[in-house]
Structure 1
Amino acid sequence: MKNRLKRFDYGLIIVIMAMSIFGLVMVYSSSYTLSTLQHGHGYFFFMRQLQLFGVGLFIFVIISFISLKTLGKLSPMLILLSVILLGLVLVPGIGVVRNQAQRWLGFGPLIFQPSEIVKVFMIIYFAYIYAKKQPYIDQFKKGVLPPLMILAVVFLLILEQPDLGTATHILLICGLIVVFSGVRFHHIFLLATIAASGIGFFAISQPYRMQRLTSFLNTFDDPSGDGYQLINSYVSIATSGLFGNGLGNSVQKLGYLPEAQTDFIMAVVVEELGIIGILTVIGGYIFILYRGIQISKEVDAMYLKLLALGVTFQITLQAIFNLGAVSGMLPITGIPLPFISYGGTSLVFTLLSAGILVNVSGRRPLSDAQKTS
């Protein structure tokens, strides 16, 4: 335990905690008006996020110390649980419908989004299985294909919610783990072609998906409809300047920008804290990306390497999806900004993922300075 504490990447821990606390501040700022109108006081969303941050912090600490080997051995059971949860989401009367999407499960006052924890379970499973398959990783049928069948099932179940954004996110994370596991290039090319074709097919197979994908390219064609949210995000960005209008002084959050505290919270960050604010947030994600890659290089076991890379790219790809949507560079997918957006399920399970990365960092060899301290 003492050696584990010496090995932990404390710079990474500090950045994760700083971004989570910053997220709490911005949830309070961005949701104050809506909270007052809906609940009679400005603290409703903030207090819920604070409570779930406490839950996430507890899980973060626990997961930082548990046996990752045991977690890997349990991964087939976790995948079975994932499929069951995703199946239950689609059952009428059990799955919770919001905004014409059935993506949540509710048990009394507890409502959560199973696809968020499925992301983590899939990373653990893929890292563990592809580490075990190293002796025959160059054989497609035996070494590459079997876990991809599970991925296809999970992808289709999430697509039915419908949630193409999250399904694509999981597909990309698992695809990267496959790449990092040492699969042959022609196998990677084949899988990438199939994946791109599948995503393209599902994107254009439903009119609403096609409309969402194209609306960000023609935002001003429908300013009161599909383009409304993005146009108001543009206004937030355009009126921000270098230092912004000051914390709490966003105008767009006063009913103009839908989902100001969730998917589009970064628009409020830019409006209130300016370019300096967004660069600071992006800098945090770049630091997590850098440290995650370094940690993967410093551990010996392939399982730990794949686990670190999977979690690292889970967080950074999610940030890219969200920031791309807010800036109009990518379609709006409804994916929250890690550590910052309002949403208890996302925050709790992102902290769980971060705890896994910190756990891996504690399994690096001790440096000479650490050995003598």
Structure 2
Amino acid sequence: MKRMRNIDLTLLMVLLLFVTFGVVMVYSASYPYAYIQYDSATYYFHRQLFWAFISSLFLIGAMLLPYQIYGKLSPLLVLFTLAALILVLIPGVGVERNFSTRWIAIGGFLFQPVEFAKLAMLIYFAYFYSRKEAYIGHFGKGVIPPLIILAIIFGLLLKQPDLGSATLILFSCGIILFFTKIRFRHLFLLGSVAVSIFIFFAMMSPYRLERITSFIDPFADAQGSGYQLVNSYISIHTGGITGNGLGGSVQKLGYLPEAHTDFIMSIITEELGLFGVIAVLSFYFFLFVKGIRIAMQASDEFGKLLAIGITFQIIIQAFVNLGAILGMLPITGITLPFISYGGSSLIVTMVSAGILLNISAYSKL
């Protein structure tokens, strides 16, 4: 327990404050829709408050549990991930919403296996490559094995379909591989293959292609494929510098779909203005700097790679979400970490943050 004194308490406090901010914004963004759908303006607020409390307990648990244990459990984590992703595709077990089957109902709550897969694959990749440093120059023995598992996970996610999350996992694991001692030609080959796979699967599906191309000119079909993005633009534009005040969003009154999930940042911008944007971006920049510092000071290669993977995955997810609401990237259904509504996402993200904090306790400095 002496090592726990080395935990980055500043990061811990900022994380808890930001999750609290997320709960407030979920309430502000969701109460009109919640009242219409469930006759209770606080429906999503109470659920997110519950998940915030539970995820905080998970954060503390992950923070106290030595991170080395996760590496030893990585084969079991991968098996559980594969089983969950297969189960979600079984009729009667998986729950379909918005033409996608991504959830499993457990006790009245929806569990999204892909959220668990995001963390499990980071742990597996970091553990495998930390133990294969001597063989990393050997493509077949030192590089390929985890990529086979990654390809299977990618395929299962495409069946849901969830190209956004599949691509996020692909690139997050690629970041871990980048920070190993892999040969450049091997890295270049794998990167080229990954980009080619993404383009192939994006182009082969009319639904995915529409998602990708609609952000180029959303006004061409403002009442169809471009509807969400157009209303996101309106929300952001009306926010200005100071915003319309907390609770003052107009777009959440039935105009902007997914206002409390994928597009919650549009509501933050509309209500809190540029100040809200700066606050959110400052948090992610702070988390990035802290995460990289923790990785560089990690006591072993596994801790270093895992800290890098966790940090980049959270930042990439935030970047993709923010890029989507601004029309700079396709809308993929990727939520904003720590802020968007959702129990599975918040719990896994908080566990990831707890592991990052635990790695900081084993710092070399």
TM-score (norm 2): 0.99
Structure 1: distance between partners of 2:158 and 2:146: 18
Tell me, yes or no, if the aligned pair for 2:249 and 2:267 is still in contact at 8 Å.
yes
Report the alpha carbon displacement of residue 41 of structure 1 after superposing the two structures with TM: 2.1
Structure 2: distance between partners of 1:17 and 1:137: 38
Equivalence for 1:266: 265
Report the alpha carbon displacement of residue 6 of structure 1 after superposing the two structures with TM: 2.1
Report the residue type matching 2:25 in the other structure.
M
Q: Does 1:305 align with 2:304?
A: yes
Report the alpha carbon displacement of residue 219 of structure 1 after superposing the two structures with TM: 0.5
Report the alpha carbon displacement of residue 136 of structure 1 after superposing the two structures with TM: 1.1
Q: How do 1:324-343 residues align onto structure 2 when only pairs under 5 Å count? A: 324-343=323-342
Equivalence for 1:212: 211
Structure 2: distance between partners of 1:11 and 1:59: 18
Report the alpha carbon displacement of residue 128 of structure 1 after superposing the two structures with TM: 0.4
Tell me, yes or no, if the aligned pair for 2:64 and 2:358 is still in contact at 8 Å.
yes
Equivalence for 1:91: 90
Report the alpha carbon displacement of residue 218 of structure 1 after superposing the two structures with TM: 1.3
Q: How do 1:94-133 residues align onto structure 2 when only pairs under 5 Å count? A: 94-133=93-132
Structure 2: distance between partners of 1:237 and 1:74: 44
Structure 2: distance between partners of 1:86 and 1:5: 35
Equivalence for 2:245: 246
Structure 2: distance between partners of 1:350 and 1:70: 18
Report the alpha carbon displacement of residue 42 of structure 1 after superposing the two structures with TM: 1.1
Report the residue type matching 1:364 in the other structure.
S
Equivalence for 1:369: none
Tell me, yes or no, if the aligned pair for 1:236 and 1:252 is still in contact at 8 Å.
yes
Deviations along 1:73-105, one digit per CA (max 9) or x if unpaired, are: 110111011001000011111110001100001
Q: Percent identity?
A: 51
Tell me, yes or no, if the aligned pair for 2:4 and 2:64 is still in contact at 8 Å.
no
- Give SS of 1:96's match: strand
Report the alpha carbon displacement of residue 111 of structure 1 after superposing the two structures with TM: 1.3
Equivalence for 1:201: 200
Equivalence for 1:43: 42
- Give SS of 1:239's match: helix
Tell me, yes or no, if the aligned pair for 2:261 and 2:335 is still in contact at 8 Å.
yes
Report the alpha carbon displacement of residue 365 of structure 1 after superposing the two structures with TM: 3.0
Tell me, yes or no, if the aligned pair for 1:9 and 1:358 is still in contact at 8 Å.
yes
Tell me, yes or no, if the aligned pair for 1:263 and 1:322 is still in contact at 8 Å.
yes
- Give SS of 2:239's match: coil
Report the alpha carbon displacement of residue 339 of structure 1 after superposing the two structures with TM: 0.3
Report the alpha carbon displacement of residue 67 of structure 1 after superposing the two structures with TM: 2.3
Q: Does 1:8 align with 2:39?
A: no
Equivalence for 1:82: 81
Q: Does 1:289 align with 2:299?
A: no
Structure 1: distance between partners of 2:316 and 2:15: 16
Report the residue type matching 1:324 in the other structure.
G
Report the residue type matching 1:322 in the other structure.
N
Tell me, yes or no, if the aligned pair for 1:232 and 1:252 is still in contact at 8 Å.
yes
Structure 2: distance between partners of 1:42 and 1:328: 30
Equivalence for 1:371: none
Q: Does 1:349 align with 2:330?
A: no
Structure 1: distance between partners of 2:54 and 2:155: 30
Structure 2: distance between partners of 1:275 and 1:68: 38
- Give SS of 2:323's match: helix
Report the alpha carbon displacement of residue 54 of structure 1 after superposing the two structures with TM: 1.1
What is the RMSD of the two structures over their aligned residues, measured on CA atoms?
A: 0.8
- Give SS of 2:117's match: helix
Segments of structure 1 that go 5 or more residues without pairing to the other structure are: 367-373
Structure 2: distance between partners of 1:17 and 1:204: 40
Report the alpha carbon displacement of residue 300 of structure 1 after superposing the two structures with TM: 2.7
Q: Does 1:69 align with 2:55?
A: no
Segments of structure 2 that go 5 or more residues without pairing to the other structure are: none
Report the alpha carbon displacement of residue 110 of structure 1 after superposing the two structures with TM: 2.5
Structure 1: distance between partners of 2:54 and 2:181: 37
Structure 2: distance between partners of 1:46 and 1:290: 31
Report the alpha carbon displacement of residue 133 of structure 1 after superposing the two structures with TM: 0.3
- Give SS of 2:334's match: coil
Equivalence for 1:370: none
Report the alpha carbon displacement of residue 13 of structure 1 after superposing the two structures with TM: 1.0
Structure 2: distance between partners of 1:346 and 1:207: 28
Q: Does 1:182 align with 2:196?
A: no
Q: How do 1:134-173 residues align onto structure 2 when only pairs under 5 Å count? A: 134-173=133-172
Structure 2: distance between partners of 1:116 and 1:162: 14
Tell me, yes or no, if the aligned pair for 1:7 and 1:365 is still in contact at 8 Å.
no
TM-score (norm 1): 0.97
Structure 1: distance between partners of 2:247 and 2:82: 42
Equivalence for 2:224: 225
- Give SS of 1:97's match: strand
Report the residue type matching 2:267 in the other structure.
V
Report the alpha carbon displacement of residue 241 of structure 1 after superposing the two structures with TM: 1.1
Structure 2: distance between partners of 1:286 and 1:14: 15
